[in-house]
Amino acid sequence: MKDKPSALTIIFSIAIIFLSLFYFRRPKPGIFLCIPDGIKVDYPLINLENSEVTAYITYKKETYMRIQYNVLTEETRVNGSIESVKLNRFFRSRIPLNDAECIEMVQRSARFFIENQITNPDTYYAGNSY
């Protein structure tokens, strides 16, 4: 005679299946999966006359990178690195970006701000919420 699985075994199995569906899900092609990572990009200085934008990249209220980008000359100056956050083994998997991706993101935003004459991104995005 076969033994039936206990109720505890069934509940435990269902919990594992449920967690694996949400924890290990992979994005499907063509679908953007947004995972909040705690990285914040601030644009304290947008100089429309010189077409220059300064951005600070912070993580958990600590500044790790400062990027200055001139849209006209396409000159980029970088101080610091987001890679230093990844040295901590607890944060390594939570931060999917590397320095090149952060720089590219700031450059794209800077071009948008200069082309559209935006000096304060916070008020621009607050007024254009979707």
Residue 96: name the closest of 10, 27, 35 by CA: 35
> Quick check: is 24 in a domain?
no
> Quick check: is 52 in a domain?
yes
> Quick check: is 65 in a domain?
yes
Domain of residue 102, residue span: 39-127
> Quick check: is 103 in a domain?
yes
CA distances from 92 to 50, 61, 104 (A): 37, 17, 20
> Quick check: is 14 in a domain?
no
Segment 90-128, tens digit of pLDDT: 555 566 678 898 899 999 999 999 999 999 888 888 877
> Quick check: is 1 in a domain?
no
CA distance 19 to 114: 45
Q: Give me the number of domains the chain comprises.
A: 1
> Quick check: is 64 in a domain?
yes
> Quick check: is 33 in a domain?
no
pLDDT of the residue at 33: 43
pTM: 0.65
